[in-house]
Amino acid sequence: MHWWFPGNASSVGGKVDSLFYVILYITGAVFVLVEATLLVFLVRYRKREGRSATYVEGSTKAEIIWTSIPAVILVALAIISQPLWSRIKDSDTYPKDAIHIGLEAKQFEWHVTYPGPDGKLGTDDDFMKKDSIHLVVDRDYVLEMTARDVVHSFFVPAFRLKQDIVPGMNIKLWVRPTRTGTFELACSELCGLGHYRMRGVVIVHTPQDYAAWLASQGEAAPAASDTASNSGKGAS
């Protein structure tokens, strides 16, 4: 566990962390270099007796260099991060057997819709929970997210996943939890006066615990055995 991150609990967390550290090292090195150069200039060109200020013309060569280097770094980072971005955001890459869960954000609540016994989202046997998402460890899920009123942002730090949710759009996000436990779900977009209250939890179960929880939801009970039996499946 990092002192500034919660422990990773998703299949993409390690790769997100690696990409984060690459960017941190690059920007950190640039920051140190710039600040060191600034200090050198402050000392070397400070006001002195007998020296008057002089006008220094710009250098086209220097401008090309300090524009080209960041541009190359930015393109390289985009190329490196593109496969991970597509894995999380591109619905064409999602595992075919992933379970779809609906998530509607509204001021100031999370409404979670689960598929019922037929295993399909958007049918009459769906059931809803508020402010809690229940998942099975090592199982693939696709969250189908919408916003009822204003822009919200789905953020689970332990999963290293953050996604803005825009009214009028159906936005999909893939996740595979890799560790059981209870993890914080927050809205990371200022969405109104009650924004600070818009908190939820993601609870990751073992297959057996999830089956027991699902059976406790009444009309959803027939789906418990099917969900538990499929919990070990999923593409890498």
Average pLDDT over residues 211-222: 71
Cα separations in angstroms, 99 against 139, 188, 222 = 8, 25, 16
Q: How many domains does the chain have?
A: 1
Alpha-carbon span 38 to 149, nearest angstrom: 47
- Coil, strand, or helix at residue 175? strand
138-188 pLDDT per residue, tens = 999 999 999 999 999 999 999 999 999 999 999 999 999 999 999 999 999
| C-alpha 187: how far from chain center | 11
pLDDT band at 226; cut points 50, 70, 90: very low
Predicted confidence band of residue 232 (pLDDT cuts 50, 70, 90): very low
Range of the domain at 19: 1-236
- Check pLDDT > 90 for residue 219: no
- CATH value at residue 19: 2.60.40.420
Q: How many CB atoms lie within 10 A of CB 94?
A: 19
Residue 127 exposed, middle or buried by CB count within 10 Å (0-12, 13-18, 19+):
middle
> For residues 142 and 113, is the Cβ–Cβ distance under 8 A?
no
Contact 13, 176 (CB under 8 A): no
Task: Please tell me what DSSP assigns to residue 6.
Answer: P
Which two three-digit tokens encode residue 182? 């209870």
pLDDT tens for 103-134 read: 999 999 999 999 988 888 988 889 999 999 99
pLDDT tens digits, 85-96: 998 989 899 999
- pLDDT, residue 193, reads 94
Integer-rounded Cα Rg, in Å, for the chain is 24
Q: Residue range 92-101: average pLDDT?
A: 93
The pLDDT score that the predictor gives to residue 2 is 64
The length of the chain, given as a count of residues: 236
Q: Which two tokens stand for residue 12?
A: 């993409």
Instruction: Give, for 51, the enclosing helix (H) or strand (E).
Output: none
State the pTM of this model. Answer: 0.80
Sheet holding 199-205, edge to edge: 132-136, 199-205, 181-187, 152-156, 161-165
pLDDT given for residue 46 in this prediction: 84
The two three-digit tokens of residue 78, written as one number: 């985009």
pLDDT the model gives residue 48 = 83
Task: Quick: pLDDT tens for 36-73.
Answer: 999 999 998 888 888 787 787 888 998 999 899 999 99
